[in-house]
Structure 1
């Protein structure tokens, strides 16, 4: 069983699940409205690594309604985890979607703490659609206050790759199953992610791997621009998978990740 740790910072409690091990330290960061649970299979596939799984603020077992939802707050949390849980060590950051964005900003802010960066279905360009965050907030607000059982949750949520993770993450109460996050917190969180961060990207000095799924959320032009603006970035395009390729293209994703982690840098 992973050791459950808690890092307190800036009025928030950040849940850390330490899988242990004597190898290089890898920190896995989930996407919006997810939690460390959806990264558990990836963590368990990284034999020889010391893996830390983090519930980012507003998610999972961390503080549900933190006052500060800025990108700086998320970055500060991860820096605090590294300094508290891996003192004197450098880590590799691996994130998906919003987690990739957090990982990238940590690497940009504190390259002295980071050996490598892996971004799965992540980008730094932001969004020029002012209503995108609002639509996501409305979607999460449309969820029932509670689901009677897993079957009713699946009926409502559909059959996308992320649904298994969402259902597994629901909190059981005497009245039913409830989400571990609030819609307005998700909306405010993703609105901050949608701001472009090209300056930090172009100045990034940490070795970086960008992984994109065949059926992911980014256009060919967006993927090409990421590499054009930082040509030293390694890029891998998976032969399958959606935006949640860590779930529906698991074997290929893990193979790519293992190979990159094993490459001397």
Structure 2
């Protein structure tokens, strides 16, 4: 059976997800959660690398991709409930959760509030939350400032700049319409979602997690060093990997370095 898209109905949103396995697949389940303004298929390299040994599911989180663009509820609790709903739809008792940035924060909260549903937890450039509110507003302004529609891919790449692989990954997530390329999200909706994460550092939630955990950082990433120190002090068994030369979107720019680290963790007894 080839890849297929599934959908779950939530009270205020449809949540779409890519499923690489048949419904009777008994292989271990890995669920991938993208970051803010991302989309399920940005995990393409990870999906390709893991699919022979795992049933891999990648979720378009609410407010992103094919899922409902402007849901009323973009609280952290809503994102957590969506992941649980996807697991229920798959008839999966539990899974390994792998999340990048905002997706990692959601994965962390699922592991904290629903420990029986998470076998292993991987946080890719994801911390405890509690960002400076000024930083949230800056990100929201940046998203609002995208000069969409973009005439073509090259115009977007020139606008986005930075590391080419990262820019290409973001470009692949654009929606092609008759008048050009558009983002598949609403800036104000994503701003509200990010604000929900920034309310406080979720230290207590982190401390309650029992699943084996791997934290992957980029050498030039954005997770504060003091947060990582706090996370390891509270849960000394947490594994940490730092990828040399990589930034925040390391699953795009450093997939060749991330995948062996991820495979070792998933194979660790």
Aligned to 1:77: 82
Contact 1:9 1:77 in 2 (8 A): yes
Matching of residue 135 in structure 1 with residue 138 in structure 2: yes
Contact 2:129 2:197 in 1 (8 A): no
Aligned to 1:14: 15
Deviation above 4 Å: which 4+ runs of structure 1?
Answer: none
Within 2, Cα distance between the matches of 1:183 and 1:238? 30
Within 1, Cα distance between the matches of 2:33 and 2:92? 21
Give the gaps of 5 or more residues in structure 2: none
Deviation string, structure 1 residues 174-221 (Cα, Å, up to 9, x no partner): 111111011101111111112311111111111111111111112333
Match of 1:253 among 233, 255, 258: 258
Match of 1:61 among 66, 70, 82: 66
Aligned residue for 1:131, secondary structure, equals helix
Counterparts of 1:87-102 in structure 2, within 5 Å, are 87-102=91-106
TM-score w.r.t. length of structure 2: 0.94
Within 2, Cα distance between the matches of 1:7 and 1:62? 10
Matching of residue 170 in structure 1 with residue 198 in structure 2: no
Contact 1:40 1:53 in 2 (8 A): no
Aligned residue for 2:172, secondary structure, equals helix
Counterparts of 1:1-265 in structure 2, within 5 Å, are 1-20=2-21, 22-46=26-50, 47-85=52-90, 87-127=91-131, 129-160=132-163, 161-195=165-199, 196-264=201-269
Give the gaps of 5 or more residues in structure 1: none
TM-score w.r.t. length of structure 1: 0.95
